[in-house]
Structure 1
Amino acid sequence: MGQRLYENGKPSVSGVDATIVDDISADEPWALVERFAELERVSGTDDERSAAAYVTDRLDQFGVDHEVFRPELYLSTPHSASVDTGDGWTAASAKTVSFSADGTAEGELVYVENDDEMESIEAMLSVSLAGLTEDLSGKVVMSESIIPISAIGELADRGAEAFVGIHPHDREPHEGIVTPVWGGAPPYDERERIPDLLVANVSASDGHELRERAAEGTEVTVAAETTTEWQTAPLVLATIEGEAAPENDEFVLAHGHYDSWHVGVTDNATGDAALLELARVLDEHSEALRRDVWVAWWPGHSTGRYAGSTWFTDEFAVDLAENCVAHVNIDSPGVADATEYDERVKWMAAVHDVAAETIADVSGKATAEFRPARAGDYSFNNLGIPGMSLQSSIPESIREQRGYHPVGGSGGHADAWHLTTDTIKKADPEVLERDTEVYTLATARLSRAARPADPIRTIDRLASIAAEYDAASTFDLGPVLDELDALRDAATALLADAEGYPQTADRLVKALTRLNFVTEGQFEQDPAESRPPLPRLAPVERLPELDGDDARFLELQLHRARNGVVAELRRLRRTL
């Protein structure tokens, strides 16, 4: 390994932090990785059940309290796919995706160029349909995209027969899921959001062949086989009681998915291993914890759009809303060569200090704060629970040298994420041990902190966003900024007079987190589509592009949104 794991040679921690970090070893985590590397842990399968049994067996050996739930989840398992042209050519790499329609479709192959440069995972999740005719009946649309979630519904509405995505990987397309429905199963009155379009993906090399044939004009036949049904899958929850403040009902949730595409070593056997070691070590140090720690292994992440964590959110909604102060999502640690924390780390403003300081104290590495995307088992946004994911990454220079394209996980390893090649060769026990130290210490600090989340920093973040929006057009967001200033003063006074972390501060953080990340209700789930900061006010950035009636209509929308935000901020201030 060319890069150092620790800038200072070892973690710079002392006291209880040092005893926790010193007790972490790679032995137990790597044993889990070796076992999981033999299991294709697709949700609802025997291999997934074997993985859950392995976790519970080890928890039994450690003496860690745990429970196994068996929820019924709405899952879509992709099987086979094919793309054939009229002249007899067949795509060797074709795969379908979860929640593709099941069947066969024929039509004229129409290529639409992706407007983006494909330099980010966000660009790869989008496709502009502006160059296509409104009526796409009889057409099979093709473009460079991993999964254009928002475009799939529009394609179906416009009558397209199928969609073929060209992936950047030259050998095989990445596995994926196409539904925008968070948790897989929609509420009854939103059931029309389940996609009804046949989807197949191909590799870059097959995509090149298809583009040439599309330019000449060709008919294609696209077939996909999927099984979409309710399936039972085990969900493991370990609980560690904090003994330093036994009267405290608050808890921290550490979690990650244990289902996988193929054997999924870096996504997410290594994360499951880190969770197991975290549970072992923190249980041994429970006397130092002020809050309980819940540790969860989710099924249904890959084929159910985070179905396991969504079920858990629904099942324990009130307890989570009232008592969970923060969550730590552990996904894709321990990737070989993932020495840095400068690109893939994500956290919410309220938990900035714990996230940034833990990375610095353990690794000595520079880091940067990135906003969590609407992805990756952040099923707690609507409840307002602040979260973090401290994923290490392969340095950009190494990725460029290897010719990697952007991917959504696996530390940036483009030949691992959601591929058949995500094997044990892509992981490293030394990186896994270092990453486990970071995740375990961050969770312990959230449990031990007098104030695990910071409402003032959260208010400041919202004020910064609102100020940017205010400068983006002539629409006046001054009333929002004034209310944020007043709320900051009130929150500062509250914290100055309070001991510890009062419930009012926790409720304030959660309300402001909802304001910044979601548009739907507290006990609902926003769809699995991008949400800009302060999403109700974000359309203000479009105002300079509009004129006439469209501009007036948007101004009306923004006026009402501003009223709602001001009223919410004023209500919060009055509760302090």
Structure 2
Amino acid sequence: MSEATTDRSALTEEEREIFDTIDIEEPWNLLEEFAELNRLSGTEDERRAAEYMTGRLDALGVEHQRFDPELYISQPHDATIRTINKTFEPGIVKTVGFSASTTVQAEVEYVGTASSDLVDDGVEGPREPFAELDDLEGRIALVDGGSFSIGATTVLEEKGAGGVIAIHEHRREPHDGIATPVWGGAPPYDERERIPDVPIANVTKHDGGILRDWAESEEGLELELSTELTTDWMACPIVEARIEGKADPDNDDFLLLHGHYDSWYVGITDNATGDAGMLELARVFNEHADKLKRDIRICWWPAHSTGRYAGSTWYTDEHAVEIAERCVAQVNMDSPGAKDSAEYTDMSCWTPEAHGLVTDTIDDVAGIPSAEQFPPRAGDYSFDNIGVTGFFMLGSNIPKEIRDERGYHPVGGCGGNSDAWHVSTDTLDKAGKDELLRDIRIYAVSILRVLNAELLPFDHTRYADRLIDVVEEYDEVAGDAFDFGPTIDELAELREAIESFRERAEAGDIPPSVANNAITELSRTLTRLYLVEDGQFEQDPATSRDPVPRYDPAHEFARLDGDERRFLEVQMKRAQNDTVHELRQARRRLP
């Protein structure tokens, strides 16, 4: 790891004090404890992990509570493949959460590449998986996708597949994962059919290559696929710490810091390092509560891996109105401190208005590279539909040149270490003390700059500029078929109004409390436009998205004609009416 350089002159006295208070002892003690716990949700080891954290919060004097909601989760147990017309001894075979638990015997058809939609934690691929594929008529689909794809499996099931086998890039063991596109595990009643109804298994690259050769041979391949899972409602602990900012007791706004503590296997860099970092930040911010102007909540989630973010979704549903009214930002701490991580370029992300805050903090605290990434529909960003400003999802990353030298393939966590992400080797040696300490300090300073800001440090002129760029791209894609000019014009007017508002707020012409309420309301409008389609208190599915997803269907104009093209015009017209109205209302609400 390259030596990090801190510009202490760029830190305030309070920031330097908190920076210096952060220590590696408490976090590393947690890692050593969690290194013995396979924290699959719904298990005794998960409960032991929750008890460890509440015990430490007690010892540290941090106010906290534990919830034990019943969450709808799916625990994978076993998967087997038995070839009927060939002799085959496969290596490790795994099923995935929310696969059907059953046995099927059928002919195998190789259907091509599956990296088509959101995979676990943000890996993406082509827009339309298997668009030209014929009816599979009960055959088992063999998919060469590198990682498990939710969208691809949905399409294969719709085309009649009786089962799915995904070929992973990992040569020793396939990555664990989850199949459902339902955010939060438990679907609304009217979306219950979205849970997969076919058995799904993952195999290694080596085994997948053999199966593919046989499936494409003249003789073909027939096999029996068996999967065993437990999918049910299970009590899963959520731990929440609350630290009241005592520097301004009348201000009850809060920042939510959060991350999951369940894991595949012992999951040290996914996400024991995040759990350790949050525990240390709870200790430090609690010790300095008298200097905080806003409150901070710190939540440890279960059922990230087996419930499609069911823990954070439950919390969002239970606290939706107060999150909408009082939460100024949500900060996800997932996979920090991976050994040899030295950048924030590939894996971390934020909503556009937080860009300056995040990149300035990384520069000031560590002096390492950073780059903005569009937030995928992943992590525990269960607050997107509400419209909460978000920064960080994953932590720092191992530089690409090092990953390439080591032969790592792309993954959605663990700093990019594919020998750790969602496999049994995500052990204590995958974490680095120096890297974790640096990342905790980056989180601490960025959070403190929100908690103690006179005016919330979010640049919504930049957000408007980003949205204008995106909608102009849609306008170009649509061509003569549709005019997105009204949206672009309204965004330009809103940007001008935001710039004027911010100047007046910084000059003291608008009371800070009034200005901060307006800043938060801008986030609600622009984040919902940028990231989601469904209602404010609903959850978009866990599938890939482009910026301004309500306009994404405009890509279809190029291939449509006749009635279908005109139907899409109707859809886009109504989407634009809704958008223009929302933007106009946001502009009129500015003080």
TM-score normalised to structure 1 length: 0.96
Specify the SS of the correspondent of 2:23.
Answer: coil
Specify the SS of the correspondent of 2:170.
Answer: coil
* Residue of structure 1 in register with 2:91 after alignment: 92
State the 1:435 CA deviation: 0.6
Show CA shifts across 1:295-322 (max 9, x none): 0000010000000000000000111010
Matched, 1:283 2:290: no
Alignment of 1:170-185 (within 5 A): 170-185=171-186
* Residue of structure 1 in register with 2:144 after alignment: 144
Specify the SS of the correspondent of 1:536.
Answer: helix
* Residue of structure 1 in register with 2:42 after alignment: 44
Matched, 1:417 2:415: no
Partners in 2 of 1:248 and 1:422 — Cα distance?
41
Partners in 2 of 1:348 and 1:124 — Cα distance?
21
State the 1:39 CA deviation: 0.3
Q: Which amino acid aligns with 2:103?
A: T
Partners in 1 of 2:322 and 2:3 — Cα distance?
38
Show CA shifts across 1:342-380 (max 9, x none): 211200012222211111111111211111100000000
* Residue of structure 2 in register with 1:233 after alignment: 236
Alignment of 1:514-525 (within 5 A): 514-525=528-539
State the 1:545 CA deviation: 3.7
Matched, 1:104 2:103: yes
State the 1:44 CA deviation: 1.0
Alignment match of 1:363 (pick from 353, 357, 366): 366
CA contact (8 A) 2:71 2:307 kept: yes
Alignment of 1:184-195 (within 5 A): 184-195=185-196
Partners in 2 of 1:12 and 1:456 — Cα distance?
24
State the 1:9 CA deviation: 8.5
State the 1:11 CA deviation: 8.7
Partners in 2 of 1:433 and 1:10 — Cα distance?
16
* Residue of structure 2 in register with 1:499 after alignment: 511
CA contact (8 A) 1:341 1:391 kept: yes
Q: Which amino acid aligns with 1:105?
A: V
* Residue of structure 2 in register with 1:482 after alignment: 489
Show CA shifts across 1:416-445 (max 9, x none): 000000000111111110011111111111
Structure 1: segments with no counterpart, 5+ residues: none
CA contact (8 A) 2:259 2:275 kept: yes
Q: Which shows bigger deviation, 528-537 or 12-21?
A: 12-21
Alignment match of 1:54 (pick from 52, 55, 69): 52
Alignment match of 1:564 (pick from 546, 568, 578): 578
State the 1:551 CA deviation: 2.8
Partners in 1 of 2:127 and 2:201 — Cα distance?
16
Specify the SS of the correspondent of 1:345.
Answer: coil
Partners in 1 of 2:102 and 2:123 — Cα distance?
29
CA contact (8 A) 2:268 2:431 kept: yes
Matched, 1:454 2:477: no
Alignment of 1:238-249 (within 5 A): 238-249=241-252
RMSD: 1.9
Show CA shifts across 1:258-277 (max 9, x none): 00000000000000000000
Q: Residues 38 and 163 from structure 1, CA distance in 2 versus in 1: closer, same or farther, beyond 3 angstroms?
A: same
Show CA shifts across 1:47-79 (max 9, x none): 111111111111111111000111110010000
Specify the SS of the correspondent of 1:352.
Answer: helix
Specify the SS of the correspondent of 2:550.
Answer: coil
Q: Which shows bigger deviation, 371-380 or 212-221?
A: 212-221
* Residue of structure 2 in register with 1:351 after alignment: 354
* Residue of structure 2 in register with 1:78 after alignment: 76
Q: Which amino acid aligns with 2:404?
A: E
Show CA shifts across 1:376-412 (max 9, x none): 0000000100111161000111111111100010000
* Residue of structure 2 in register with 1:6 after alignment: 4
State the 1:172 CA deviation: 0.5
Partners in 1 of 2:415 and 2:97 — Cα distance?
23
State the 1:124 CA deviation: 6.0
Show CA shifts across 1:146-190 (max 9, x none): 222112222223221100000000011000000000000011111
Alignment of 1:160-559 (within 5 A): 160-216=161-217, 217-389=220-392, 391-452=395-456, 453-472=458-477, 473-474=479-480, 475-495=482-502, 496=504, 497-500=509-512, 501-559=515-573
Show CA shifts across 1:75-104 (max 9, x none): 100000011211231422110000000010
Partners in 1 of 2:5 and 2:410 — Cα distance?
26
Q: Which shows bigger deviation, 121-130 or 42-51?
A: 121-130
CA contact (8 A) 1:383 1:523 kept: yes
Q: Residues 210 and 125 from structure 1, CA distance in 2 versus in 1: closer, same or farther, beyond 3 angstroms?
A: farther
Structure 2: segments with no counterpart, 5+ residues: none
CA contact (8 A) 1:240 1:294 kept: yes
Partners in 2 of 1:319 and 1:158 — Cα distance?
43
CA contact (8 A) 2:525 2:583 kept: no
Partners in 2 of 1:260 and 1:5 — Cα distance?
30
State the 1:519 CA deviation: 0.6
Q: Residues 210 and 346 from structure 1, CA distance in 2 versus in 1: closer, same or farther, beyond 3 angstroms?
A: same
Q: Which shows bigger deviation, 478-487 or 300-309?
A: 478-487
Q: Residues 133 and 531 from structure 1, CA distance in 2 versus in 1: closer, same or farther, beyond 3 angstroms?
A: same
Specify the SS of the correspondent of 1:38.
Answer: coil
Show CA shifts across 1:443-468 (max 9, x none): 11111112333332222221221222
Partners in 2 of 1:138 and 1:185 — Cα distance?
27
Specify the SS of the correspondent of 1:422.
Answer: coil
CA contact (8 A) 1:76 1:303 kept: yes
State the 1:10 CA deviation: 7.4
Partners in 2 of 1:257 and 1:437 — Cα distance?
19
Q: Which shows bigger deviation, 416-425 or 543-552?
A: 543-552
CA contact (8 A) 2:115 2:126 kept: no
Specify the SS of the correspondent of 1:346.
Answer: coil
Specify the SS of the correspondent of 1:481.
Answer: helix
TM-score normalised to structure 2 length: 0.93
Q: Which amino acid aligns with 2:215?
A: A
Q: Which amino acid aligns with 1:275?
A: M
CA contact (8 A) 1:262 1:419 kept: yes
Q: Percent identity?
A: 49
CA contact (8 A) 1:243 1:289 kept: yes
Q: Which amino acid aligns with 1:394?
A: I
CA contact (8 A) 2:72 2:232 kept: yes
Partners in 2 of 1:545 and 1:278 — Cα distance?
52
Show CA shifts across 1:7-40 (max 9, x none): 4587953411111111111111011001101100
CA contact (8 A) 2:129 2:151 kept: no
Q: Which shows bigger deviation, 560-569 or 228-237?
A: 560-569
* Residue of structure 2 in register with 1:129 after alignment: 130
Q: Which amino acid aligns with 1:158?
A: K
CA contact (8 A) 1:112 1:131 kept: no
State the 1:536 CA deviation: 1.3
State the 1:571 CA deviation: 1.9
State the 1:541 CA deviation: 3.2
State the 1:559 CA deviation: 1.8
Q: Residues 297 and 178 from structure 1, CA distance in 2 versus in 1: closer, same or farther, beyond 3 angstroms?
A: same
Specify the SS of the correspondent of 1:165.
Answer: strand
CA contact (8 A) 2:115 2:148 kept: no
